[in-house]
Structure 1
Amino acid sequence: MDANRHLRQPGVERFVKFVGNLATPSPREMFARLGELGYRGQDRARRALCLMAYRHVRRIKRIYVDGADRDRQPRKSNYLLLGPTGCGKTFLVEQLFGKILELPTAMVDITTYSETGYVGQDPSAILTRLLHAADDNPLMASIGVVCLDEFDKIASGQNNAVFAGAGTTKDVTGMGVQRELLKMLEATEVVVPLELGHAGYGDHVVISTADIAFVAAGAFSGFQTIAARRGNRGSMGFGRIAAGRPLDPDAVAVDFTDDDVESIANFQAYGFLPELMARFTRVVPFRALDIDTLTDILHTEVVDRMSNEFAAEGFELRVDDDVIAYIVREALRRETGARGLSSTLTRHLEHAAFDAFGHHAGGLIHVRMQAGAIDVVVDPSPPAP
């Protein structure tokens, strides 16, 4: 494969200029900027991703702007993010690569793809989404970032999706999709359809994946149990369960140790091809968000934003501290993480907002605890004439 063949394509000068103009903030600067954009917690994982992002941009600048010998540069990096739902995995990728670095970034739900020849989207269409994120410019797409969300669902036996009315099922083991991802995550040239749909129809373009960074993310429910069982069998200490560490196979908000995620054998036992897992430069565990972090997120990213919306409608939104504490406790109990914060408050405010918005001139909407439950009291001003 000629990894530099796309440098002979039309539009190379514009592409090189684009790469040259890419911002290269330091990892520390990216870390701080994420905080300014509202990202909370996950300091260790955030540092790892900021460093990966910095290396990605510096590498492509050396190759395409400085003319460095590709064969003497480190290979591109692919990262795997493990952590419970609502802990900030995909949000980190979106903010870091899409907003801070402004690289073409595609967020892909991997569960909608199936092995070529089966019902479902062809894996090559993953790069179609990246192509669209790059304004249909293949050169821009070739240095972008793909986030493979719900990655754990393609483990053998984890995906039982059935396509209604199709008269067939998806490659339910996920092994077919894993095999098709093997070369894509390494460095190959992929024939990419220009439009989403059936990959065998329509126009195509060839895109090299030699400089595309893949970031896979998943909750990996049950992985901790598998790792602990293997550790208890004496597998060189990998995944050994710590004293007092809970082993609930149905638990969602669990924390993974470095030992859990550094053994490829654990992923193989979970249902992944070992050669696919070897394509990931680094596996980064994310922790379940704690009470303080969830409280901070609820205040700054939910209540403050909702208060601005209500103020624009002429209403003061007042949320008592015990309501904040209750919502955070519920998010922890339900193991929904940050995702559960907004939905809970939104659900309780829907009736009041429906009656008040566009009808009353203003007033106070007070969210309080009453008899152990959230209660919303509306004190509107008289309706506008």
Structure 2
Amino acid sequence: MVNDDNNSTDNNNVDKSENGDSSDKSNEDEYEKICYVCRRPESKAGTMIDMPGGICVCADCLQKSFNSFQNFGMNMSISKDELEELLNTPGIHMMTTDDFRREIPKKQKLKKKKSSEKKEAPVLDINKIPAPHVIKGKLDDYVIGQDYAKKVMSVAVYNHYKRVATNTMDEIEIEKSNMLMIGPTGSGKTYLVKTLAKLLDVPLAITDATSLTEAGYIGDDIESVVSKLLAAADNDVERAETGIIFIDEIDKIAKKQNTSSRDVSGESVQQGMLKLLEGSEVEVPVGATSKNAMVPLATVNTKNILFICGGAFPDLEDIIKERLNKQAAIGFQSELTDKYDNDPNIMKKVTSEDLRKFGMIPEFLGRLPIVFTLDGLTEDMLVKILTDPKNAIIKQYQKLLELDEVKLEFTEGALRTIAKKAIEKKTGARALRAIIEKFMLDIMYEIPKDDNIGTVKITEEYINGTGGPVIGMRGQDLIEG
């Protein structure tokens, strides 16, 4: 009986080990083999030849190696004694396949494309794409104000993914709805895109245009924006080809004015991005930001990738005012030159002519057909940002103190004062967190010392520095209740 039990346990162990091996093997089967020499995947280079030491080489590279050895042997003759003497020289050893062995990290492996024979479910179902009003309703839960921007984005995204899901409609090809959003810092450009990608459950890559340079110069290549999207899609090319790329600080690649040197991080980058925005097949490095001999390359088609560009475009208001004031002249129909100086909606009057004067080339603007602006944040909007969104800053601090069984309250006057201080900083909603952190520091430090504290009320006097917060003890709360 004992022997039987041992045998059964051994069999179970064997089964487990076999299952483990099979699962590892199935995971490996999902990825393509990559040639050690030219770094091309199996789908491009053809069937790989397995070499000792876990190395794979494509037929082309192997043939080239044979040819080079043959030429080497014809051009060089060496005797047996001379060869032995050379090998016995200190510091020289015979190379083996172990010297070439290099484990390719998983982030640089490419997933195999699914065979076209099997009919897979579509990546996006036309019936499951949220309608524009649903998309805007979800954005309203997180982003305060910016109704026009949210409406434009909702319609553009809805039309884009209908285009992706249907490919063509009655043989009428629908063009891409790439967007350019213009708005002051802290107005919610990046936050809108992040919320949108979360809602649609598609891969999102957020990149910065300031690091991009023309190919061949130090910095990120233009294709690196697509390689970041590929990484966000877990190196799944098919999923990455329906994602969203948000390029922030797009105004930083504007054409430099009056420059005599080569503009490698300005106009050259705009020209390099033209085909990328329009839709083309690009070779992108897998698991890296620049191409080199040791990194495998993947081919990604950008035809169905939605590009959203955003920037603050500082001093664009002056260009708009200059254009609008051209009509000012002597006569009955003349206008005052300071008519638009205090216009809060001056950015809404932007045209492609103004953007060209700023430094964006016409070809680049032509591939961003949807241009819209975000409003600067007012005092009322900042107060709502503090309290209304699902993850509002005030709610975060209330939750933190709730874990210490303390109730946190803010008076209306305190919220207004915080909003006024944020406007003075001129950094948009980002200023709110910095201001609240400053005033909450002492409270978060002192409250855990005393278990009797039940409530904390932040007043306008405390924010202005003329008083302190109102502290309520738990016993007093019970008596008052």
TM-score, normalised via structure 2 length: 0.66
Alignment of 1:117 onto 2:212: no
Q: Which runs of 4+ in 1 moved over 6 A?
A: 240-243
Q: Do the aligned partners of 1:104 and 1:144 also contact (CA within 8 Å) in 2?
A: yes
| Greater mean alpha carbon deviation, residues 224-233 or residues 179-188 | 224-233
Aligned to 1:220: 313
Q: Is the 8 A contact 2:247 2:309 kept in 1?
A: yes
Where does residue 26 of structure 2 map in the other structure? none
Q: Distance in 1 between matches of 2:459 and 2:375?
A: 30
Q: Partners of 1:139 and 1:227 in 2: how far apart?
A: 42
Pick one of 229, 232, 256 that aligns with 2:325: 232
Question: 1:315: which partner in 2?
Answer: 406
> 1:137/1:243 Cα in 2 relative to 1: closer, same or farther (>3 Å)?
same
1:329, distance to aligned residue in structure 2 (A): 0.9
1:46-87 residue CA offsets vs partner (Å, 9 max, x unmatched): 111000111111111102xxxx46962211111000011111
Query: Which residues of 2 match residues 15-54 of structure 1 at below 5 A?
Result: 16-20=121-125, 23-36=128-141, 38-54=142-158
Match of 2:298 among 199, 205, 214: 205
* 1:285-319 Cα shifts (integer Å, max 9, x gaps): 11112222211111131112211111112222222
- Structure 2 unmatched runs, 5+: 1-43, 45-111, 329-334, 475-481
Task: Note if contact 2:462-2:469 (Cα within 8 Å) is conserved in structure 1.
Answer: no
* Deviation of the 1:29 alpha carbon: 1.2
Structure 2 counterparts to residues 1-385 of structure 1, below 5 A: 9-10=113-114, 16-20=121-125, 23-36=128-141, 38-63=142-167, 68=168, 72-96=172-196, 98-157=197-256, 174-201=266-293, 202-233=295-326, 244-246=339-341, 255-260=345-350, 262=351, 264-300=352-388, 301-357=392-448, 359-361=449-451, 363=453, 364-370=455-461, 373-374=464-465, 377=469, 379=471
Other structure's SS at 1:370 match: helix
Residue 199 of structure 1 deviates from its aligned partner by 2.4
Task: Mark the structure with the bigger radius of gyration.
Answer: 2
Give the whole-Å Cα distance in 1 for the aligned partners of 2:406 and 2:248. Answer: 38
* Contact 1:106–1:145 (CA under 8 A) maintained in structure 2: yes
Offset of residue 267 of structure 1: 1.4
- Measured against aligned partners, the alpha-carbon deviations of 1:197-241 in whole angstroms (never above 9, x if no partner) come to 432341110101111110001111101111221333459xxxx99
Counterpart in the other structure of 1:165: none
What's the CA shift for 1:137? 0.7
SS in 1 for 2:129: coil
Instruction: Give the Å deviation of 1:283.
Output: 0.4
Cα separation, partners in 2 of 1:241 and 1:189, compared to 1, 3 Å = farther
Higher relative contact order (CA 8 A, sep 6+): 1
Q: Hey, what's the Cα distance between the residues in 2 that align with 1:153 and 1:204? A: 28
- Judging changes above 3 Å, is the alpha-carbon distance between structure 1 residues 352 and 14 closer, same or farther for their aligned structure 2 residues? farther
**Contact 1:366 1:377 survives alignment (8 Å):** yes
Distance in 1 (CA, whole Å) between partners of 2:181 and 2:175 is 19
TM-score calculated relative to the size of structure 1: 0.81
SS at match of 1:215: strand
Q: Report deviation, 1:172.
A: 6.4
Question: Using the alignment, how far apart are the partners of 1:198 and 1:360 within structure 2?
Answer: 55
**CA 1:197–1:106: 2 relative to 1, 3 Å:** closer
| Alpha-carbon spacing, 1:318–1:172, altered in 2? closer, same or farther (3 Å) | farther
Give the superposition deviation at 1:175: 1.5
**1:274 shift after superposition:** 1.2
Aligned residues of 1:114 and 1:123 also touching (Cα < 8 A):
yes
Q: Is the 8 A contact 2:325 2:337 kept in 1?
A: no
Query: What SS does the aligned partner of 1:17 have?
Result: coil
TM-aligned CA deviation for residue 45 of structure 1 = 1.2
Matched-pair contact (CA < 8 Å) for 1:128–1:194: yes
How far residue 346 of structure 1 moved from its aligned partner, in angstroms, is 1.6
Q: CA deviation at 1:11?
A: 5.7
Instruction: Give distance in 2, aligned partners of 1:309 and 1:204.
Output: 46
Give the percent of matched residue pairs that are identical in Structure 1 and Structure 2. Answer: 26
Secondary structure of the equivalent of 1:18? coil
* Pairwise CA RMSD: 3.2
Please say if residues 128 and 192 of structure 1, whose CA atoms lie closer than 8 Å, have aligned partners that are also in contact.
yes
- Return 327-336 or 12-21, whichever deviates more: 12-21
> Alignment partner of 2:298: what SS?
strand
Change (3 A) 1:150 1:71: farther
**In structure 1, C-alpha distance between the alignment counterparts of 2:462 and 2:442, rounded to whole Å:** 20
Separation in structure 1 between the aligned mates of residue 397 and residue 322 of structure 2, nearest angstrom? 45
CA contact under 8 A between 2:462 and 2:468: conserved in structure 1? no
**1:61 maps to amino acid:** A
Query: Where does residue 19 of structure 2 map in the other structure?
Result: none
Q: Given that residues 414 and 460 in structure 2 are in contact (C-alpha distance below 8 angstroms), is that contact kept between their aligned partners in structure 1?
A: yes
In 1, the alpha carbon distance for the partners of 2:336 and 2:370 equals: 22
> Structure 1 residues 241 and 224, CA, compared in 2 at 3 Å: closer, same or farther?
farther
